[in-house]
A and B are shown apart, each in its own frame.
Chain A
């Protein structure tokens, strides 16, 4: 079965760049019809979609993050990545990578999630 695992620094200073990696195991990142996504959740709060990427296509981002965010993929390593520049305390959260279905009848349903990684900005 497909599994996702986030990795990256857990502590950042304000103005630094957050860089996270999601490693996909159990299947190729290019097989099937899936969007590979990043979602975050501040402590005690709700979920926010950051963006998604479909291999071979341009990524889509949440406009609320402006030009600070970028998502990329390395199909040879079966990984995708999140970069968020100029972080502030408001970016502190648990960051999840997740797989979203791409077929119309299930479009956007996140059916596989990583365990999440906590990012602190201080």
Chain B
């Protein structure tokens, strides 16, 4: 299985802060990396797919990037609704796997 190392596991921020979350994969996965936001008690919501493409309807403060096997999700200015847990997911090989999550509080 492809291992996903997501960091940090949590971070404390204030509204308006810039946030960066990183996901490192154990092998090359092309750009098959997706990012989700999960609010408490809710299903995850797709934010970014193919490493850097914003899902339709997702605010432009979210962006994704790739450098080798390192992938980054950036929130340019955190809003109150962004306090949640974020997950990366590789869809390059079966089984598709998720990172451990990053709680933004």
Known contacts A113-B43, A115-B43, A116-B43; A108 and B87 CB within 8 A of each other: no
The dominant DSSP class at the B interface is loop
Report Cα–Cα, A92/B42, bound state, in Å. 17
Interface string of B16-50 (1 = CB under 8 A from A): 00000000000000001010100000111110011
The answer to whether B98 and A110 touch across the interface, beta carbons within 8 angstroms, is: no
B: interface residue count bin: 20 to 34
A29 at the interface (CB under 8 A from B): no
CB of A84 to closest CB in B, whole Å = 15
Q: How far is the CA of A2 from the CA of B101 in the complex (A)?
A: 27
Whether B32 contacts A110 by the Cβ 8 Å rule is no
The answer on a CB contact under 8 Å between A109 and B46 is yes
Q: Which residue of B lies closest to A115 (CB)?
A: B43
**In this assembly, does A48 line the interface, its C-beta being within 8 Å of a C-beta of chain B?**
yes
Q: Nearest CB to that of B98 among chain A residues?
A: A47
Contacts of B92 in A (CB 8 A): 108
Which residues does chain A contribute within 8 Å of B50, judged by CB atoms? 105-106, 109
The residue from A52, A111, A113, A115 contacting B55, defined by CB atoms under 8 A apart: A111
B90 contacts across to A, CB distance below 8 A: 108
- Give me the interface of B with A, judged by CB distance under 8 Å: 1, 32, 34, 36, 42-46, 49-50, 53, 55, 87, 89-92, 94-101
**A contact residues vs B (CB 8 Å cutoff):** 46-49, 51-52, 60-64, 96, 98, 100-101, 105-111, 113-116
